[in-house]
Amino acid sequence: MTVKPVPEGYPRITPYLCVDGAAAAIDFYVSVLGATERMRMPAPDGRIGHAELELGNSVIMLADEYPDLGFRSPNTVGGSPVTLHVYVEDVDAVFAKALGLGATQLSAVKDEFYGDRTGQFEDPFGHRWNVATHVEDVPPQEMERRAEEAARSLGSAPDAAPPRPEA
**What is the per-residue pLDDT across 71-118, written as a single tens digit (0 to 9) for each?**
999 999 999 999 999 999 999 999 999 999 999 999 999 999 999 999
Strand 83-87 relative to strand 16-19: parallel, antiparallel, unpaired?
A: unpaired
| pLDDT score recorded for residue 126 | 98
| pLDDT score recorded for residue 166 | 55
**What is the per-residue pLDDT across 137-148, written as a single tens digit (0 to 9) for each?**
999 999 999 999
| pLDDT score recorded for residue 154 | 85
| pLDDT score recorded for residue 161 | 45
Q: What percent of the chain has pLDDT over 70?
A: 93
Is the predicted pLDDT of residue 163 greater than 50, yes or no? no
pTM, two decimal places: 0.86
Assign 134 to helix, strand or coil.
Answer: strand
Assign 20 to helix, strand or coil.
Answer: coil
**What is the per-residue pLDDT across 44-80, written as a single tens digit (0 to 9) for each?**
999 999 999 999 999 999 999 999 999 999 999 999 9
Q: What is the largest CA-CA distance in the chain?
A: 70
| pLDDT score recorded for residue 164 | 47
| pLDDT score recorded for residue 47 | 97
DSSP labels for 48-95?
EEEEEEEETTEEEEEEE-BGGGTB--HHHHT--S-EEEEE-S-HHHHH
CB of 14 closer than 8 Å to CB of 59: yes
Q: Which pLDDT band, with edges at 50, 70 and 90, does 30 fall under?
A: very high
Assign 125 to helix, strand or coil.
Answer: coil
Q: Which pLDDT band, with edges at 50, 70 and 90, does 43 fall under?
A: very high
Q: Which pLDDT band, with edges at 50, 70 and 90, does 1 fall under?
A: confident
Domains of the chain in sequence order: 16-153 (3.10.180.10)
| pLDDT score recorded for residue 156 | 62
